[in-house]
Structure 1
């Protein structure tokens, strides 16, 4: 691949895209022999401001480089030179949310909730590291897969909103022309240039969530002033009123996240993530079918008990008709008894679900004594009863079957308890144990791009990065690296005591 230029030690290969503050290139890192992304900052500043700007940019890049999360793009390096400042980061394959939305892609409410939940997880991690993004918008959420976001440009937003320490006579910041930001997604406190905290990211993410749910931005205007006024004053309809497919619960979560009043706004990205996680878990439970949940107690419970009793009575009648003249009375009595037992079991189950103080004794099956086989007729009836009656959760499925067997087991002979052996004399002397030799270990170094979950055998060791190495006993170990968007990578290594081996893989 031809080289079109150099930035620092990196050889630029081709242009990925251009933005308001710079250009992004695919570049080759000759030191590590891998393709990366280089973002150059092309800002026209007076020479007296250049040094201050470069120092501020490198400080922000350092903060961004300290972040290591599966849903945050990894920053490798940053620098400043004659060609300006630059930031080296992992090269991603895909498109950002702005591009996908402009191409007509519309996520389902569940997909939107999953994307925003993962971005909220990333922001929560950054906030606990003391880093605020300040410019969350669709263009800064890169989609590797349809539900696998990566947050871009941590630190770049600070460049946009930096305030100069110059003299008061200058009025506005020397970098005031850079404060364009992203007006559609800026929080009211940003628009009014007030002090901000982590809740600005919650607000902006709420606006992005609103746009994913409805397909439109909540605040619009023909110029910057009109958009700013819309952010500060306009009331927007909830998402479920614009898109009937949006559940009311998701609509409320989005509206609370983008509340103008800081007191009413969702207090943190972690809280937003938890609310979406609970909603998604509830959807998964509903999708698991009737078998995933016990029937609710209430008005439907008597109906189920009556239906079970009627089914049992019908079963007894059917058995009586099928018996004919040649059927013995014992079989008929057994069928009728089974019907009564099914009715009693249904009534007992109803009482349990109602929470009444109805005690239902459950006969535990002895582990050491096998049940005798039932008569063929009784076994067939028991199988039909099992199909009709539905065992409630928490009651062993074997209990009704044990109670329904009409053939009593033969009495067992009384168990003979052998006499315990004479107790050995207690001695106070303890044999001295030889100290165990320490287990010899070696090191497995990990060089995985962009990230992966590391397992050794069936044990999950963590996520790399930040996990960079493993200390394992000497011997052969099979290590599996998993990334949600790619097939798993597996490698077997021979670990030797006191030595290291490296696993390198790029998904």
Structure 2
């Protein structure tokens, strides 16, 4: 049997279909004469969740590992999911297959195991963990942790485009991983999207440390066996000077450029054309290709891709530091912008309150003016006798009645009453009294009192201050790289761009959430005039 063509040719879908056929087949009858069958696996569900690795058929063995299905293959070998029977766990097995003579194969195996030991000594959150390495009749292999996700090459091919901040954060973490490896004396030599595995939107894992170095030192190996020509540094292409950690800086700069622009900086129809572009072509700055890219970030990518190694960042640590500073500046700028927006909103609120107070004052003044206007005096006819207006209530003490007017046909005075000895008083024609202002009536007093009460109420309303707003304080947020904010369990926004929270006076529980990290929770006491600052950096 041709092991490479037959045993390793089964895809995960074929493996599931074979397992379904096996599970549908009746097992041996038990003692009661019934036939027991295993449950059928739903092929539409995720393999890792629906089927345990030990339940899948074995398609071959490498060392002690039982191969279950193929994950992918590249220029240096093939990757399989395999079951480790010793530790009962699922791992990833990468084979390294080169067409070498027996003598060269022996030398290659010794170098490969040495590099595998170096890679196994790397313990970093952004570097894949190597468990084991060895040789088998099928060639050398590495056993490493099995990751869930996709590599960066697949994501870009599917159309994923990160924002400038996401791209800078992703590359900064890869630079941290490379800086750690360089400090251990390990240079990757093949940084490219296919070797950056994404287990989260901004959580990379660097793969294949040491393998490119082994391949590059084989006399029979192709010039480009040690890396992808699109991402190789000029010194790797020319092979005229020693390759050091700065070649990883160049390759990572190419990855950053591609993330920012969506295009590779060096292209060609053949390997020779690509190599020529890497050595001699200077791509346009990223911000000219994509205007949404900030100039400062574009310059960082350009410096990382300098042809002359002496003109690049001299280490991945310096590249990481530049990206970290840029990210911090973006966070501070976002916080400043949010603070200015809060200030503008506060000014608008004060203006609205002032305008409302002015309207109240105008209405109060208008009320005072109307209340102070005297009532019109009653108009008397020239030939009418002075007296109370018709329909008005008489005062409590009535005026004495006027004597009747004497007229031409008035009857004679009455004769004295007989038997009384007294005569009636003579009737004298009375002169109409001079017209005088009428005394105020009870109704007029009531109207005047009502107007006085209204005037006093208007003065009180104008003099009374607007009701005081509830006391509040400010919580300033400095979160890197970003986080969803919850206040007392309720969503409050995302930082950045959110930079400040205005909360009522008292104690509040603030929760910061980032999908890639555990949540961070703090309790603060908000006091007016005393800003509270919350600083947190996820992953630190």
1:100 paired to 2:155: yes
Equivalent in the alignment of 1:202: 249
The 8 Å contact of residues 96 and 139 in structure 2, kept in 1 or not, is answered as yes
SS in 1 for 2:205: strand
Equivalent in the alignment of 1:437: none
Distance 1:185 1:162, change over 3 A: same
1:283 and 1:190 map into 2 onto residues whose CA distance is 35
TM-score between the two structures when normalised by the length of structure 1: 0.59
2:261 and 2:229 map into 1 onto residues whose CA distance is 19
The 8 Å contact of residues 77 and 94 in structure 2, kept in 1 or not, is answered as yes
1:229 alignment partner, one of 276, 296, 313: 276
The 8 Å contact of residues 160 and 181 in structure 1, kept in 2 or not, is answered as no
Deviations 1:217-240 (A, max 9, x none): 111122222211111111211111
The 8 Å contact of residues 77 and 87 in structure 1, kept in 2 or not, is answered as yes
Deviations 1:20-54 (A, max 9, x none): 21111100011111000000111221111222111
1:240-255 pair list within 5 angstroms: 240-255=287-302
1:13 paired to 2:68: yes
Equivalent in the alignment of 1:441: none
1:321 paired to 2:362: yes
Distance 1:276 1:314, change over 3 A: same
SS in 1 for 2:307: coil
Distance 1:266 1:314, change over 3 A: same
Equivalent in the alignment of 1:444: none
Equivalent in the alignment of 2:504: none
Distance 1:65 1:484, change over 3 A: farther
1:38 paired to 2:84: no
2:178 and 2:160 map into 1 onto residues whose CA distance is 24
Q: Answer with 103-112 or 127-136: which moved more.
A: 103-112
The 8 Å contact of residues 160 and 178 in structure 1, kept in 2 or not, is answered as no
Distance 1:8 1:251, change over 3 A: same
The 8 Å contact of residues 212 and 226 in structure 2, kept in 1 or not, is answered as no
SS in 2 for 1:15: strand
The 8 Å contact of residues 189 and 226 in structure 2, kept in 1 or not, is answered as no
2:235 alignment partner, one of 159, 164, 189: 189
Deviations 1:326-363 (A, max 9, x none): 46999799x7xxxxxxxxxxxxxxxxxxxxxxxxxxxx
The 8 Å contact of residues 364 and 459 in structure 2, kept in 1 or not, is answered as no
Query: Structure 2 unaligned runs (5+)?
Result: 1-55, 369-454, 477-512, 520-540
Distance 1:57 1:93, change over 3 A: same
SS in 2 for 1:37: strand
Tell which structure's C-alpha radius of gyration is larger.
2
2:112 alignment partner, one of 36, 57, 72: 57
SS in 1 for 2:95: strand
Equivalent in the alignment of 1:404: none
Count of aligned pairs between the two proteins: 338
SS in 2 for 1:263: helix
Equivalent in the alignment of 2:48: none
The 8 Å contact of residues 191 and 231 in structure 2, kept in 1 or not, is answered as yes
1:308-457 pair list within 5 angstroms: 317-318=358-359, 320-321=361-362, 323-324=364-365, 325=368, 326=455, 377-378=464-465, 380=467, 383=469
Distance 1:206 1:291, change over 3 A: closer
Distance 1:5 1:178, change over 3 A: farther
Alpha-carbon offset, residue 178 of structure 1:
6.6
Alpha-carbon offset, residue 276 of structure 1:
2.1
The 8 Å contact of residues 191 and 252 in structure 2, kept in 1 or not, is answered as yes
Distance 1:35 1:311, change over 3 A: closer
The 8 Å contact of residues 26 and 37 in structure 1, kept in 2 or not, is answered as yes
The 8 Å contact of residues 75 and 225 in structure 2, kept in 1 or not, is answered as no
Distance 1:321 1:26, change over 3 A: same
1:84 and 1:162 map into 2 onto residues whose CA distance is 17
Q: Answer with 99-108 or 186-195: which moved more.
A: 99-108
The 8 Å contact of residues 185 and 207 in structure 1, kept in 2 or not, is answered as yes
2:196 alignment partner, one of 119, 141, 160: 141
Distance 1:313 1:295, change over 3 A: closer
Alpha-carbon offset, residue 485 of structure 1:
4.8
TM-score between the two structures when normalised by the length of structure 2: 0.56
The 8 Å contact of residues 134 and 158 in structure 1, kept in 2 or not, is answered as yes
Distance 1:74 1:84, change over 3 A: same
1:266 and 1:21 map into 2 onto residues whose CA distance is 29
The 8 Å contact of residues 64 and 84 in structure 2, kept in 1 or not, is answered as yes
